[in-house]
Amino acid sequence: MTLLKDFLTERGYKRRKLKLTKTNHFEVTATLNGIKGRFILDTGASNSCLGFEMAEQFLLKAEASDIKAVGAGASDLMTKVAEGNTVTIGKWKTEDVSLVLFNLDHVNEGLILHGSNRVDGILGADILRLGNAIIDYEKKYLYLK
């Protein structure tokens, strides 16, 4: 019987270990514009995003946006957009990524309240689609092609 790891590796997928947090979220370490950070993996988030305060740390060139963000526990949030970014997750890499910036305080407050650590941002469906993502929930791995 072929293992999922072998099956996907033979087809060009790169594997990255996920950490299951106390809030039942998967967390992944990724590099954004050459700087390492901690991100929640969120299949329900349409866009990958960071808090406003992360713009300088991750070398983002953010511009004002008319789009309002909506998420669990928050709505009608002001946003900025940063284009032309490079995201690396393990050995997988993609360039020219657009990221949404908005106030992620409610996300991090919720994580801390439930005994988890703050994150730098959220990797959403946009990145997952780019990498044809497959999540192995049992073994806690993310596969990207």
- The reported pLDDT for the residue numbered 64 is 82
Query: What CATH number is given for 15-137 in this structure?
Result: 2.40.70.10
Which residue intervals of the chain are DSSP H helices?
A: 4-10, 105-113, 125-130
What pLDDT, on a 0 to 100 scale, did the predictor assign at position 66? 66
pLDDT in tens, 13-64: 999 999 999 999 999 999 999 999 999 999 999 999 999 999 999 999 988 8
Kindly report the pTM of this predicted structure. 0.88
- Domains of the chain, by residue range, sit at 15-137
pLDDT at 70 exceeding the cut of 60: no
Q: What is the pLDDT of residues 100-125, one digit of tens each?
A: 998 888 889 988 999 889 999 999 99
Residue 143: how many other CB atoms lie within 10 Å:
23
